[in-house]
């Protein structure tokens, strides 16, 4: 895995390290026991099942239960435990073979979308309804830009098939499923660029379905938003006020 750049990634990497250590120890121990079983002369006495089989089995089950519970807690922390009220909202949409990122604009509310309105060639890849005033200030980008140190609540959708949204550097993975709006939240902490991949085989162009996350300072993020807003207004003026 690449270097971690998210707040929750510290606990996740620690959990992964513990799991790998446990697997290696059990692997070595199992082969040592197999070797001893081959080398040791067969005893004529009755085997002590309690110490030879039952107690190790109980210990192994206890280890796996603990690993499963701690892993579930880490997974749920980014999904079932809701984000803070001040978390920034971003919508991410997967479509063969592209990721789109939508910001709600100054009103902090996403405009409604209509599938018949989807037209990437006309500048409306998400099908934002022009009659919905809340969508007039929405910003759509092919690049995900986030400020460091600020929690982000991601709404994940898909237009066509299941896509696997994965940012290795953020220790973040969640499927985007058609017909569902799934949420996951995280806090990027380290400035830099991180590749965004698709981990579900979504068609012939699956291998090219990549995007980029840029984690920048708050000042750089606000400047980027301002530039995108100016570009959006210029495009609206050129098309007579349409979205």
C-alpha distance from residue 126 to each of 27, 97, 170, 238 (Å)? 49, 14, 25, 20
Q: Who contacts 98 (Cβ-Cβ below 8 Å, separation ≥6)? A: 120, 125, 142, 209, 211
What's the pLDDT tens digit per position in 204-230?
Answer: 999 899 999 999 999 999 999 998 888
C-alpha distance from residue 176 to each of 57, 160, 211 (Å)? 39, 10, 15
Mean pLDDT over 54-83 rounds to 85
**What confidence tier does 239 reach under pLDDT thresholds 50, 70, 90?**
low
Q: Who contacts 114 (Cβ-Cβ below 8 Å, separation ≥6)? A: 127, 129
Torsion of CA 160, 166, 167, 171, to 10 degrees: 150
Task: Reply yes or no: is the peptide bond before residue 155 cis, omega within 30 of 0.
Answer: no
Determine how β-strand 139-141 pairs with β-strand 163-167: unpaired
Decide: pTM greater than 0.85.
Answer: no
What's the pLDDT tens digit per position in 187-207?
Answer: 999 999 999 999 999 999 998
Q: Who contacts 183 (Cβ-Cβ below 8 Å, separation ≥6)? A: 79, 83, 153, 154, 155, 156
Please give the Cα distance from 176 to 230 (Å, whole number).
30
Give yes or no for residue 101 having a pLDDT over 60. yes
Please give the Cα distance from 149 to 7 (Å, whole number).
8
If one compares 21 and 235, the residue with the highest pLDDT of the two is 21
């Amino acid at each position: 895995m690449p270097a971690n750049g998210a707040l929750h990634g510290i606990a996740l990497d620690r959990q992964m390290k513990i799991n790998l250590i446990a697997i290696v120890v059990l692997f070595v121990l199992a082969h040592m026991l197999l070797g001893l079983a081959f080398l040791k002369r067969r005893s004529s006495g009755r085997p002590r099942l309690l110490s030879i089989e039952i107690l190790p089995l109980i210990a192994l089950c206890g280890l796996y239960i603990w690993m499963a519970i701690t892993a579930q807690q880490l997974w749920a922390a980014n999904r079932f435990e809701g984000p803070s009220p001040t978390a920034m909202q971003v919508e991410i949409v997967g479509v063969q073979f592209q990721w789109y990122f939508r910001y709600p604009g100054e009103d902090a509310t996403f405009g409604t979308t209509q599938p018949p309105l989807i037209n990437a060639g006309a500048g409306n890849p998400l099908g934002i309804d022009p009659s919905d005033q809340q969508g007039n200030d929405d910003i759509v980008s092919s690049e995900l830009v986030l400020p460091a140190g600020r929690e982000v609540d991601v709404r994940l959708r898909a237009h066509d098939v299941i896509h696997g949204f994965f940012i290795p550097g953020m220790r973040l993975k969640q499927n985007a499923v058609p017909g569902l709006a799934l949420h996951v939240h995280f806090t990027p902490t380290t400035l830099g660029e991180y590749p965004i991949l698709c981990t579900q085989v979504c068609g012939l162009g699956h291998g090219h379905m990549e995007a980029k996350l840029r984690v920048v300072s708050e000042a750089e993020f606000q400047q980027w938003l301002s530039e995108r807003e100016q570009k959006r207004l210029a495009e609206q003026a050129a098309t007579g006020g349409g979205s």
